[in-house]
Structure 1
């Protein structure tokens, strides 16, 4: 039935072409033998007919494309993934968000997901969790890819998908040199992007947001349940994959969680306990820089994805909805990308000093239920406020007689920022939330002692005016 419709459309277009040809031949006075020679007349007829045929063929191809897109959308089982309405190609032949010009991710038929989806579990039943690497014009992406491939325990379970924007040929050549060790997809919309006049210097952030939206749509529409996001300037730890595989069930079962992050914003040497690489925390602050999300979360966020500054946007209360992330004591990623759209913001002072874990922790063999909200809140908050309260000077000069963790209290924004600067912690806020904080509490290590920078016990929540 559907093929008949396509043939009918083709027949109508063909008939229209010949009628137009006849009209030009018989009715248009420009073709009078009194005004044109026979050869000129034939040339004009051929040119007109060719132009008419090309226009009709282009219309036909677009109609067929729309019909095919509609059929694919109707047969797609993964209803949680946002479906992009089919659109005609623009004058450059680009589809706004389709996969025109993209190297397809190898497909595998599945009775549950339909023929247009990939397998989401390995032969032994483990979830397939792709690593989505965002790339642009860094040829040094090879450092990131070498790292990811070297530590990858299973090619089937952790396929690497590199999504490239910018169209930089040198970078693309580097990516393709890895051949079947990864899959390359290319962001097809390379058109200029509208940026309000006052934000022209931030155009790069607009392009990044567009790229993220397209790449996550493309990947999740294949049927995956989880995706790990990595940028092209990150190195990973030996247990990077083990970390995410060990924590994905937390993300699946605890609705108060919305991401697993490999990053500790305050993970500098001297502020972390290097003897506890297995220590994990809940945090209200979205860390990014190597993180995992679910297809359900992407379905929620994709329909309102921002035009720029996606990471700040995702930290807004309207998006976070009091959900939290898991983050490690010692980072499982480390950035080497000083040069980028942020122009090295924070790099020299903080980022280049972040410690990358060198240990291999078997997270899949650990009992991580202590990180579930009910368990964690009862224990963590009680332990923090049972700690003796000290001043920064007492801590710095090691004048504390008792062993064990201590607490430094803050009550104002100014007091918090002053204390963090003295301690060497990052002092900024996003949507009122300090970096790494949970219930306003920032945990770190100092002078071989666990320290909690914490608000009053009667804390009422984050204050947006502190940003």
Structure 2
């Protein structure tokens, strides 16, 4: 029996004992001649005492969850220290190559990992508000591609209290679980200069409630989070199923994302099997583990949760897995952000159309111990070109080249010239890993990289 199950049984036993004790006290010490008013008063006091007890028990359960999480983290640290002691015959093993040509990949039966994929249960929670047509499209996209209702249950968490949206969700019947965020009140004590951003604060409040429901109330081990304005690819569930064990195994990973910020058609390679590590939290369809949520929940921000996730105090040098070709696509031109970046960028992101059988492939190259040495060897092993050479050669020459940036301004000049995202969050560029951003330009793979002796991100770069 798990410790969580035992703990819940103890709580239920305690509540039952408390109720019996109060009933016994009432009959022993209350005189038969008491008036109805006195009986009503006693009943009301009894109910209030039960409510207070219930509140204290819920608080204690959250504290216990956090304590168990801290103990588990310490255990993982000890195990990792033991694992990281290199064996004598492992020190000089050559690194694996990161990107393989599909033609040269091992046959599926030779490279299939030994993971019990059929036993994993990974629910999806859809964050919704007041867009009935959007939630209909989003849920149809998920249901049309979902391979198993039992393995991938779908929950819809609705904020805003919009009845038309609620009615639309109900049309899906028992195919989804409908949850309603109970706190619809205005955000209290919001500074005057933040009033126009109240929607972002409500979204952050909703995320906190929804993820508490999934991880604490339902005790799911992992959850895939999507918004109500996303379409998903034909292999969306396959992608997350295959990467789930990597997320469990590698403590330097803290999320898997379906999104490539630079995933427009002309900036990607048409290879659905390409996956990367990224220091930038992408969002837009992402998977998180319960342990990570128990760490984040106590300090969850009042607003702008996604940028908060990108701060060093939350990221803690951890990375996400992301694809070359996005497994989600946003149609959310209208929403709290008022279509910010949609017309200029988001609507051009390509959604993968070809099913790729990730669960039959060996994805262990994405583990940090394998990925880092091979990735750096590949990037710094190709020819270094200037921006002018890249633009004038029109894709002629080597299939892969590197261009070096030296500071924030040179990075932004290069990315602007190549037509990819230029912004940085706490010094981390979109899709960046070890300071390196990669894209395709005129059919040529470009690595935009710092010097070979890169020492870390500059948090003041923005």
Which residue is equivalent to 1:348? 343
**CA distance 1:79–1:417, change in 2 (3 Å):** same
**CA distance 1:383–1:326, change in 2 (3 Å):** same
More helix per residue: 2
Given the alignment of the two structures, is residue 422 of structure 1 paired with residue 408 of structure 2, yes or no?
Answer: no
Provide TM-score, normalisation by structure 1. 0.80
Which residue is equivalent to 2:290? 295
- Residue of 199, 208, 224 corresponding to 2:220: 224
Cα separation, 1, equivalents of 2:315 and 2:29: 52
For residues 358-417 of structure 1, the C-alpha deviation after alignment (integer angstroms, 9 at most, x for no partner) is 010111111001111011111111110111111222212226753220011111111111
Q: Tell whether the 8 Å contact from 2:65 to 2:294 is kept in structure 1 after alignment.
A: no
- Residue of 53, 63, 67 corresponding to 2:53: 67
List, as ranges, runs of 4+ consecutive aligned residues in structure 1 with deviation greater than 4 Å.
8-19, 52-59, 68-78, 80-83
Given the alignment of the two structures, is residue 136 of structure 1 paired with residue 129 of structure 2, yes or no?
Answer: yes
Q: Tell whether the 8 Å contact from 1:263 to 1:332 is kept in structure 2 after alignment.
A: yes
Given the alignment of the two structures, is residue 2 of structure 1 paired with residue 24 of structure 2, yes or no?
Answer: no
Given the alignment of the two structures, is residue 370 of structure 1 paired with residue 365 of structure 2, yes or no?
Answer: yes
TM superposition shift of 1:242: 0.2
**CA distance 1:55–1:219, change in 2 (3 Å):** farther
Cα separation, 2, equivalents of 1:169 and 1:356: 31
> Which shows bigger deviation, 435-444 or 416-425?
416-425
Which residue is equivalent to 2:101? none
CA RMSD of aligned residues (A): 2.7
Given the alignment of the two structures, is residue 189 of structure 1 paired with residue 189 of structure 2, yes or no?
Answer: no
User: Aligned ranges for residues 43-122 of structure 1 at < 5 Å?
Assistant: 58-68=44-54, 79-80=65-66
- From the CA coordinates, give the structure whose radius of gyration is larger: 1
Cα separation, 1, equivalents of 2:391 and 2:32: 86
Given the alignment of the two structures, is residue 273 of structure 1 paired with residue 260 of structure 2, yes or no?
Answer: no
Query: Any stretches of 5+ residues in structure 2 without a counterpart?
Result: 1-16, 70-115
Given the alignment of the two structures, is residue 412 of structure 1 paired with residue 407 of structure 2, yes or no?
Answer: yes
Greater RCO, CA 8 A, separation 6+: 2
For residues 182-206 of structure 1, the C-alpha deviation after alignment (integer angstroms, 9 at most, x for no partner) is 0001111112212222211111111
**CA distance 1:12–1:175, change in 2 (3 Å):** farther
Aligned residues: 397
For residues 197-243 of structure 1, the C-alpha deviation after alignment (integer angstroms, 9 at most, x for no partner) is 22111111111111111111111121211000000000000000000
Which residue is equivalent to 1:383? 378
Q: Tell whether the 8 Å contact from 1:13 to 1:60 is kept in structure 2 after alignment.
A: no
Cα separation, 2, equivalents of 1:82 and 1:211: 25
> Which shows bigger deviation, 57-66 or 229-238?
57-66
1:303 match: secondary structure: helix
Q: Tell whether the 8 Å contact from 1:81 to 1:299 is kept in structure 2 after alignment.
A: no
Query: Any stretches of 5+ residues in structure 1 without a counterpart?
Result: 22-48, 84-122
1:156 match: secondary structure: coil
TM superposition shift of 1:79: 2.9
Which residue is equivalent to 1:161? 155
TM superposition shift of 1:67: 3.4
Which residue is equivalent to 1:211? 206
Cα separation, 1, equivalents of 2:442 and 2:455: 30
TM superposition shift of 1:166: 0.6
TM superposition shift of 1:344: 1.1
